[in-house]
Amino acid sequence: MTKFRVFYGTFVDTPALGQLRIRARTSLGVSPDGTIQFIKAESQNPLQDAMDFDKSLKPWEISVIDTFQHQGFTFFFPGFIDTHVHASQYPNAGIFGSSTLLDWLETYTFPLEAGLKDIDHARKIYSRVLDKTLAHGTTTASYYTTIDANSSNLMADICAQRGQRAFIGKVCMDQNSPDYYIESLSDCQHSLQKVVNYIREELKDDKIKPIVTPRFAPTCSKELMTWLGKIAHDQDLHIQTHLSENKNELKWVKELFPECESYSDVYDSYNLLTNKTVLAHCIHLSDKEIDLIKERESGVSHCPISNSSITSGECEVRRLLDHGIKVGLGTDLSGGYDVSILATARQALLVSRHLAMKEVDAKKQEHLKLSVNDVLYLSSLGGAQVLAMDQQVGTFEVGKQFDTQLIDLESAGSRVDVFDWQYTKWTDEGRDIENTKLFEDLLAKWLFTGDDRNTVRVWVGGKQVFPGTK
């Protein structure tokens, strides 16, 4: 029986914005509860490393996952963290026509979500979402489901069965919604509490957490938002919502909440801006709103694919980062058309370059651009910070959970082409500086030309979840 696992090879993570940490010839030990117990650089014998760490372990009780023979083109990277994804909208991925946010909701989104009250229908969709997200290396996701409690609890079940870390957000909306897809205030209160109680008292999986989810301010009455702010505080719940995605949305919010100074102030007025709040989009923020978000320690989910797809705008991510705001990445299905956080990171980098092109000053232009290291940080530790999980996941550190993907640039069907002179040769310890530069180039290749075919294995809490049994 395996009591301990040791992973051996090259470990890559981003301990700070813009910083890349590459640890070759390294062994990493993981206990049965998924906790990283040791990280040993310059390892010669990973099996012995485990026995040295815990002298009670016998060789047959230790499983070694050894990638060193393929160290020139394989590496471990922290599992991706998707801070904003509508699981219920997956069938509409790629379908948005020429619409913008508000008409897109009416035409495509609300009818689809309403249909997921049918549990069998919901199971097919949610199961496919888990198939895809795990295969793309997403180990943690913050999900929006629908207004239906049973459908939301089903999503929690599926995430638990498949082993993914997940926040389950039963959508709350009691006004300005279609007659066929709306709840009364009391119904919304009952259904949200039903989801919270189910996840915490019946499911009892530490990887699955409920999250308070007002869809966005226009669809929530003042009474509902007051209650949501209170339940989040009283029951120590995370919060997720949309903020400042579309200019017409901003005008609508101003009409509905004339007493509030800004869109951000609406949420703050109802105690919905906390250090556990995830704000998706945040494209059209004033300086005062940015200061408020920073003061409340809320985080931003940057959704570049969706922002482009439904013509919402370009989020000035560097501006947010310069103000010390936590930023992660969100696929935002189905406004976003891709389940891949790698593809989202790629688009985040490209959008920053489009913003830079509009800047005349050369120094400011360069500063606006996000680097490969920057967007890989947003995909992992940045997302963990947004979800208030950075002490648990996001980098390879002793005491953190082993949420990881194994990347193989020469996997079957890989789009990444690596030539002989581009391989790192970590066996030659005297060439580490040269190898590090080569490896940074390989990471850029992965970001720009890689996809799910390069994600060959995925672990959450030390347990392999991809490939895995369904």
The answer on 288 and 339 residing in a single domain is yes
Q: Helix-strand-coil percent breakdown of the chain, rounded to 5? A: 45, 20, 35
| Closest to 233 measured CA to CA, from 204, 274, 199 | 274
Last residue of a domain, one of 332, 359, 387: 387
Apex 111 CA angle, 108 and 117, nearest 5: 140
- pLDDT tens figures, 87-133: 999 999 998 777 777 787 888 899 999 999 999 999 999 999 999 99
pTM of the predicted structure, to 2 decimals: 0.97
Which residues form the domain of 324? Answer: 80-387
Q: pLDDT value at position 469?
A: 54
Tokens of 197: 């109680």
| Closest to 218 measured CA to CA, from 333, 106, 141 | 106
Q: Give the HSE-up count for residue 201: Cα atoms under 13 Å, Cβ half-sphere.
A: 7
Cα dihedral across residues 404, 408, 409, 414: positive or negative: negative
- pLDDT tens figures, 376-422: 999 999 999 999 999 999 999 999 999 999 999 999 999 999 999 99
DSSP 257: -
The answer on 148 and 59 residing in a single domain is no
Tell me the CATH number at 126.
Answer: 3.20.20.140
- pLDDT tens figures, 211-226: 999 999 999 999 999 9
The answer on 54 and 160 residing in a single domain is no
Q: Which single residue is written with the structure tokens 């409690």? A: 149
Tell me the CATH number at 441.
Answer: 2.30.40.10
Please state the domain count of the chain: 2
The answer on 400 and 252 residing in a single domain is no
Q: Fill in the amino acid letter for 161.
A: Q
* DSSP per position, 106-138: IIIIHHHHHGGGSHHHHHHHHHHHHHHHHHTTE
